[in-house]
Amino acid sequence: LSEPVQKTFSFPPVPEDNVSQDIDHILETQSALGIDLGGTNLRVGIITMAGKIMRKYTQPNPKTYEERMELILSMCKQAMADAIPLNCRILGVGVSTGGRVNPQNGVVLDSTKLINEWSHIDLRSPVSQSLHLPVWVDNDGNCAALAERKFGHGKGVENFVTIITGTGIGGGIIQHGELIHGSTFCAAELGHIMVSLDGPECSCGSRGCVEAYASGLALQREAKRLHDEDLLVVEGMSLNNKEQVNASHLVQAARLGNSKAEGVLRTVNPSLVVLSGVLSQHYKSPVTDFISQRALSSAREVKVMTSELDSPALLGAASMVLDYTTRR
Ligand code: ADP
Ligand code: BMX
Ligand code: MG
Ligand code: CA
Ligand code: ZN
């Protein structure tokens, strides 16, 4: 009878007569680490439940598997250290990556030339073993769709498509509120819809894909071609010799009235809803025009919006963590 009653422990232990510790605990913000691996950049972010990016780190995506894994882990460790003074409690890691991904086991099945040494890669095991956190992985276009569903224009929308333009073109399809992966995880590789049988070579090995016309890389190729012919730079535009010509110069030239550059930007595909990525602003009106002129009549009601999210793929990566770790 003199034995003390066994106490049940709650974590973190909260002394009953002291509420201040309890409040400290509540002030911690449940957060995720997001990773986004693209054809050009590797990004890591600390993202809160509300979709706020507390901190973002960007590096060029390394060209080899070893260097890439090493950089991912070191950037994540830095972010986890920085999360402590920010009061962000990291619940897990979400990875968005180019390539076909099996989200059930976190394996990148295969990739186009945009990311080297990135086929048959178990991404989940090394990240989770090294950071001691649960890890979710999905394709970057799919992640962009998840971000729109949770934080953006896709909120409460049953069926929508997102197209994200970076180095390549990624896609994500939400059908009945869920992501579609397809039988071999290629369902929303929307950049690789062939629009011309003998079009330019695509990084996937085929030719004439939408990505080969309208991606950041394709526009860079066109910008370089115009520049070589001395047709790129127009009045009001400056381009010094050291600067690499890229897609942004093509966009700038088009804005300043370069009709050749304008012509390149008008070659786009139809039937989409949320456009995101560096080129989305420039594609909104040609896409809308194309749909109203060419789409099947019952598809013409499709709305086209540009994303309002900063880094949708990164946010979508984080959303996998935030949704799964708090789902009951
Ligand atoms: P990824 O996810 O493929 O690594 P990002 O989304 O970081 O790519 O975008 C990088 C790509 O976008 C590059 O191809 C680059 O040339 C192009 N780009 C960068 N800035 C701009 C801009 N202001 N306008 C148009 N294209 C841009
Ligand atoms: C490529 C392909 C897609 C990806 C898209 C956008 C790879 C490595 N990438 O089409 O899986 O969704 O690029 O990627 O196979 P980003 O590089 O533009 O972000
Ligand atoms: Mg990207
Ligand atoms: Ca996709
Ligand atoms: Zn292709």
Q: Is the CB of 141 under 6 A from ligand 2?
A: yes
Ligand number, closest to the Cα atom of 213: 5
Q: How much distance in Å is there from the Cα of 306 to the middle of ligand 4?
A: 18
Question: What SS3 string covers the chain?
Answer: CCCCCCCCCCCCCCCCCCCHHHHHHHHCEEEEEEEEECCCEEEEEEEECCCCEEEEEEEECCCCHHHHHHHHHHHHHHHHHHHCCCCEEEEEEEEEECCEEECCCCEEEECCCCCCCCCCEECHHHHHHHHCCCEEEEEHHHHHHHHHHHHCCCCCCCCEEEEEECCCEEEEEEECCEECCCCCCCCCCHHHCECCCCCCECCCCCECEHHHHHCHHHHHHHHHHHHHCCCCCCCCCCCCCCCCCCHHHHHHHHHCCCHHHHHHHCCCCCCCCEEEECCHHHHHHHHHHHHHHHCCHHHCCCCCEECCCCCHHHHHHHHHHHHHHHCC
The CA distance from 137 to 317, in Å, is 7
Residue numbers annotated as active site: 140
**Which atom of ligand 1 sits closest to the CA of residue 36?**
2
Our mutation pick for probing the ligand 1 site, out of 35, 36, 40, 251, counting the most ligand atoms within 8 A of Cβ, is: 40
239 CB-near residues (< 8 Å, 6+ apart): 227, 232, 233, 245, 249
Chain mean pLDDT for the chain: 89
Answer yes or no: is pLDDT of 62 > 80. yes
Q: Whose CA is nearest to atom 19 of ligand 2?
A: 38
Is the CB of residue 312 less than 8 Å from the CB of residue 152? yes
Q: Which is nearest to 164 in space by CA: 43, 68, 38?
A: 38
Q: Which two tokens stand for residue 247?
A: 């897609």
Q: Is the CB of 154 under 6 A from ligand 2?
A: no
**Ligand 1 atom 27: the closest Cα is on which residue?**
248
> Residue length, the chain?
328
Please say if the pLDDT value at position 106 is more than 90: yes
Render pLDDT for 224-276 as a digit per residue (tens, 0 to 9).
999 999 999 999 998 888 889 999 999 889 888 988 888 777 653 333 468 99
Contacts of 74 (CB under 8 A, 6+ apart): none
The stretch 12-23 carries a mean pLDDT of: 53
Residues around ion ligand 3, judged by CB within 5 A, are 38, 140, 166
Question: In angstroms, how far is CA 136 from the centroid of its own chain?
Answer: 14
Q: What is the residue whose two structure tokens read 């804005």?
A: 255
Mean pLDDT is lowest, of 166-170, 214-218, 298-302, for 298-302
User: What percentage of residues in the chain have a pLDDT greater than 90?
Assistant: 68
Q: What is the predicted pLDDT for the residue at 1?
A: 46
Q: Is residue 35's pLDDT more than 60?
A: yes
Q: Does pTM top 0.90 for this prediction?
A: no
Q: Which pLDDT value is given to residue 16?
A: 54
Q: How far is Cα 324 from Cα 305, in angstroms, rounded to an integer? A: 28
Cβ of residue 38 lying under 6 Å from some atom of ligand 1: yes
Asked if residue 5 has pLDDT above 60, the reply is no
